[in-house]
Amino acid sequence: MARAKSQDYDESKIKTLSSLEHIRLRTGMYIGRLGDGSNPDDGIYVLLKEVIDNSVDEFIMGAGERITVAIAPPSGDADWLVSVRDRGRGIPLGKVVEAVSIINTGAKYNDEVFQFSVGLNGVGTKAVNALSSRFRVVAYREGRFLEAVFEKGVLRSKREGEARREPTGTLVEFTPDREIFGEYSFNREFVEKRMWNYAYLNSGLTLALDGTEYASKNGLHDLLDSEVGESALYDIGYWRGERMEFAFTHTNDYGEEYFSFVNGQYTSDGGSHLSAFREGFLKSVNEFFQAQYKGEDIREGVAAAVSVKLMNPVFESQTKNKLGNTDIKPWILQEVKRGVDEFLRKNPQAAKRLQEKIVTNEKLRTELNIVKKEAKEAARKIELRIPNLKDCKLHLGDVPKGEESTIFLTEGLSAAGSMVSSRNVYTQAIFSLRGKPENMHARKRTAIYKNEELYNMMMALGIENDIEGLRYGRIVVATDADYDGFHIRNLLLTFFLTFFEELIVQGRVYILETPLFRVRTKKETRYSYSAKERDEAVKALGQGSEVTRFKGLGEISPNEFGQFIGEDIRLVRVDIQTLKAVPEVLEFYMGKNTPQRREYIMKNLVADL
């Protein structure tokens, strides 16, 4: 093989970037994904969070009980404008510029000033500054102010003076830079969800978003009540200590549902604090009932919210989704045991309902084990080779699973064939369905083992016992953009929402977006994901353009398909606002209320026409 031509490598090739230049060049290192605002984890929400976190830290330290947030949409020549005003202590005026523009500069390294902060790396506000086309900060202290205005991290102006009527605190305004984020927009529902989380985690704090106030008197008790509502089998158990707060109950749903936080940061992937809570909950329940119930019977159907405050949290990634501290287990175990025991002693009716739930879970597990045994005897080779699964090479050898791997659930062999030929064989797996899966709404878990295809899919995912065994970082539903494809998509989502709701809560399930049209000339080809994009492409390329409507995934050639599941893959994460809404939605769309559903469809069809 011919070697690449050697390039000159001398002192002139060595570059030194300023800290903010590096943030703009390597954005993903600091805020994770970019996105366009259609996903709650997109970068524009990270920027908002970093600014609000600073204001919440002020509240935690006893300064300021109100945070005002405003998000103004584009108008005329003006782009999105986000502003956050707190009533905290205000940045010391002599350090305002440095605090928002120089990495590793800030007061969060000083435990006397900030004890329980998430932003310990001194990057947050600097990243917001660097990634904003315009960034303005104003600090108010003791009747004076200092204002600094930046553009893309570069200081443009600074002024100071008297501000006798302004209360002490900090104002931050920023506009995410379209050079970094492209065309984006803020989703109101995503922002509201964040406001509520801040309120639940900080009783006594009031947040105002564009005039709407968010506040909570009962902390995580309110959070869990908003999620499970009337589906709770007994009154919500609640405990609040100096460093830990938690709430719990049970529902008739399958699996376990947790909402865990560290210093106000939502840890979607849990971590050591959640593991310690789960273990403590198991031990405390068994000690209270003087029994030896299995963990799976105690925790099946549990819903809990857990929050801890740590001096030095260690996260496993920059996006802080999973806690890694290993020294916190002993005190969390003791706190959980104390809180659960106190609640059960004071609430005998709740204790009775909890024990009844555990006994019911034992009976269901016994029934399930019998069906499991029959299913495995009927498919003894399932462990060695799962039909219709083309696994990725990442899982060969000693690596049974991986965060960077993806499995596509697709319909039919033709679509699967195109994907298999164009996929990244190292990280992407394909599981092909043979038609429409069975509707699993309101079915028992035993029904999975009586359905060969869903059983095979469950085994391919590795989630038979619990979702901790999930073999893939992402589960992507890839179906045709027609009525049958949408129906299959709904059936798969019903399967996950019924039996493995945790996968959706944790943001593991996605919908693959593939183009509906191809518009091309001899010189150029464009792919369109809507009729509007198709019309724009035709206008741009000329009326003589050839327009192809893709009726199914199988019609897209492997050469074309590669770009739709490659680096530019378009995914829509499946998200639910509250758990309590799931049963009602599933019953309406997947239940037996056919006349009501038909009436709804006809009304909306007429409205659309």
DSSP state, residue 5: P
What is the full DSSP assignment across 56-101? Answer: HHHHHTT--SEEEEEEEPPBTTB--EEEEEE-S----GGGHHHHHH
The pLDDT, as a whole number, for residue 404 is 85
pTM: 0.73
Q: Which CATH architecture has domain 383-514+556-576?
A: 3-Layer(aba) Sandwich (3.40)
List the chain domain ranges.
19-214, 220-364, 383-514+556-576, 517-549, 577-609
Half-sphere exposure of 598 (CA within 13 A, CB side): 4
d(CA 82, CA 186): 10
pLDDT in tens, 66-97: 999 999 999 888 899 999 999 999 999 999 99
The pLDDT, as a whole number, for residue 336 is 96
**Other beta carbons within 10 Å of 259:** 23
The pLDDT, as a whole number, for residue 384 is 44
CB 231 within 8 A of CB 206: no
The pLDDT, as a whole number, for residue 604 is 62
Angle at which helix 348-378 crosses helix 272-289, to 10 degrees, equals: 110
Helix runs in 75-219, H state only? 96-101, 124-130, 178-181, 188-201
Say whether 395 sits in a helix, a strand or coil.
helix
d(CA 599, CA 605): 10
413 vs 268, higher pLDDT: 268
The pLDDT, as a whole number, for residue 321 is 78
d(CA 302, CA 249): 6
358 vs 314, higher pLDDT: 358
- Tokens standing for residue 397: 């050898």
- Tokens standing for residue 326: 């290993």
Instruction: Specify whether domain 19-214 bears CATH 3.30.565.10.
Output: yes
Beta bridge mates, 158:
148
The pLDDT, as a whole number, for residue 117 is 53
Strand ranges, E, within 456-581: 472-478, 509-513, 517-520, 525-528, 546-549, 570-573
Residue written as tokens 């903010």? 20
220-364: CATH topology? Ribosomal Protein S5; domain 2 (3.30.230)
The pLDDT, as a whole number, for residue 376 is 67
473 vs 579, higher pLDDT: 473
Alpha-carbon Rg of the chain, whole angstroms? 27
Q: Strand 237-240's sheet: what is its strand order? A: 237-240, 244-250, 302-308, 257-262, 265-266
* Average pLDDT score over the chain: 85
Confidence class of residue 112 from pLDDT cuts 50, 70 and 90?
very low
Confidence class of residue 8 from pLDDT cuts 50, 70 and 90?
low
507 vs 15, 415, 475, 577, CA distance in Å? 39, 25, 9, 12
pLDDT in tens, 236-288: 999 999 899 999 999 998 889 999 999 888 888 889 999 999 999 999 999 99
Pairing of strands 81-86, 132-141: unpaired
186-214 core/surface letters (b: 16 or more CB in 10 A; e: else): bbeebbebbbbbbbbbbbebbbbbeeeeb
Pairing of strands 509-513, 154-162: unpaired
The pLDDT, as a whole number, for residue 419 is 87
| Distance between start and end Cα atoms, the chain | 62
Confidence class of residue 123 from pLDDT cuts 50, 70 and 90?
low
The pLDDT, as a whole number, for residue 273 is 95
478 vs 41, higher pLDDT: 478
d(CA 587, CA 601): 15
Percentage with pLDDT > 70 across the chain = 89
Same fold? 19-214, 220-364: no
